Amino acid sequence: MAPVYRSHERFERGIDRLERRLPGQWAGRLRRLRSPGAGWLRVPVGTLLILGGVFSFLPVLGLWMLPLGLLLLAYDIPLLKTPIGGTLVRGERLWRRWRRRGKN
């Protein structure tokens, strides 16, 4: 049972860090979607974001929608928490490495 708990912790920490980096308005929206009672809204929004990411070749829609939709669905589909949490950690490491390279 420990690995499941650890992956859940990693997932939550990653989302917390993401939320702190977002501008105030967007952080508030993410916080509302993360609340336990927002499952009725989280699932349709996550599904629509994934569909929008699939159709990213169309104007206005973008590939950024796909990971955000998966992130929202991971709250309600426990099987997704481990891979999404790991992706958050790896993505953050790559981002820091890329930013350090840009300063040199």
pLDDT of residue 45: 92
Give me the mean pLDDT over the 50-66 stretch: 82
pLDDT of residue 52: 87
Domain boundary assignment for the chain = 2-103
Give me the mean pLDDT over the 60-68 stretch: 82
Rounded to an integer, what is the distance from CA 41 to the centroid of its chain? 15
What pTM was computed for the model? 0.75
Residue 70 has pLDDT above 70, yes or no: yes
Task: Give the Cα separation of 82 and 38 in Å (integer).
Answer: 21
Identify the band that residue 1 occupies on the pLDDT scale cut at 50, 70 and 90: very low
Residue 17 has pLDDT above 80, yes or no: yes
